[in-house]
């Protein structure tokens, strides 16, 4: 291995040298140096946006995955590399926050409209709360994928994108009645699937 790409920050006094090594040579060592140099700063940025440390490390990994895949999108004309990394971190944190909010809204609307508590939590859930939420997201995702594609599409648009039935009808160029029927059929199938799968966290 070329010694210029060893993960030693003393060999990379300039951020531009690191990002150049990532772009031109796909140097994992250079990316590692960037990670070591800025992980604490970027993690703090992510936590300030999300107000939640549980997902911070995952989002931080997403940030550096984006750096690895799209390092060429940075140019010195955009300012300091750290400033660009902070922008990336904020955007990834906001993306994750929107996903969680969309999921929570979808769950609440589903429970309200179909009177089915998707998960019943006890006061003892404690540190397992994040695992509970992750399991529930995976469960709903799997159940959605079992729906016929045309039903899955409208359910996703309704409950996870917050679109009205009229907006969906316009976007898909379908009669409003067709959209309503597909949503109703899809939600009934989800409700029937969830009834025997309800669980309680003790």
Q: Is 104 part of a structural domain of the chain?
A: no
Cα–Cα distance, 69 to 85 (Å, whole number) = 13
For residues 1 and 198, which has the higher predicted lDDT (pLDDT)?
198
Q: How many domains does the chain have?
A: 2
Q: Is 105 part of a structural domain of the chain?
A: no
The boundaries of the domain holding residue 183 are: 116-201
Strand partners, 119: 199
Which one, of 77, 41, 39, 57, lies nearest residue 31 by Cα?
39
Q: Is 110 part of a structural domain of the chain?
A: no
3: confidence class by pLDDT, cuts 50, 70, 90? very low
Q: Is 30 part of a structural domain of the chain?
A: yes
pLDDT by residue (tens digit) across 159-192?
Answer: 777 778 888 999 999 998 999 899 888 888 887 7
Do 12 and 85 belong to one domain?
yes
pLDDT by residue (tens digit) across 52-64?
Answer: 787 888 899 999 9
User: If you average pLDDT over every residue of the chain, what do you get?
Assistant: 77
7: confidence class by pLDDT, cuts 50, 70, 90? very low
Residue 201 CB partners (closer than 8 Å, separation 6+): 119, 120, 121, 122, 124, 125, 128, 132
């Amino acid at each position: 291995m070329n010694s210029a790409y060893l993960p030693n920050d003393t060999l990379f006094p300039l951020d531009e040298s690191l990002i150049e090594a990532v772009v031109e040579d796909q140097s994992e060592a250079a990316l590692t140096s960037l990670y070591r140099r800025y992980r604490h700063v970027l993690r703090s940025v992510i936590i300030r946006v999300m107000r939640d440390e549980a997902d911070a490390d995952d989002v931080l990994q997403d940030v550096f995955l984006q750096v690895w895949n799209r390092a060429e999108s940075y140019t010195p004309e955009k300012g300091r590399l750290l400033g660009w990394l902070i922008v990336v971190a904020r955007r990834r944190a906001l993306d994750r926050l929107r996903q969680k909010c969309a999921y929570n809204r979808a769950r609440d609307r589903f429970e309200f409209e179909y009177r089915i508590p998707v998960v019943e939590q006890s006061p003892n859930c404690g540190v397992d709360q994040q695992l509970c939420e992750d399991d529930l997201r995976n469960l709903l995702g799997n159940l959605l994928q079992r729906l016929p594609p045309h039903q899955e599409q409208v359910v996703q648009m309704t409950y996870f994108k917050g679109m009205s039935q009229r907006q969906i009808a316009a976007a898909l160029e379908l009669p409003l009645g067709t959209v309503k029927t597909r949503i109703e059929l899809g939600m009934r199938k989800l409700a029937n699937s969830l009834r025997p799968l309800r669980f309680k966290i003790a």
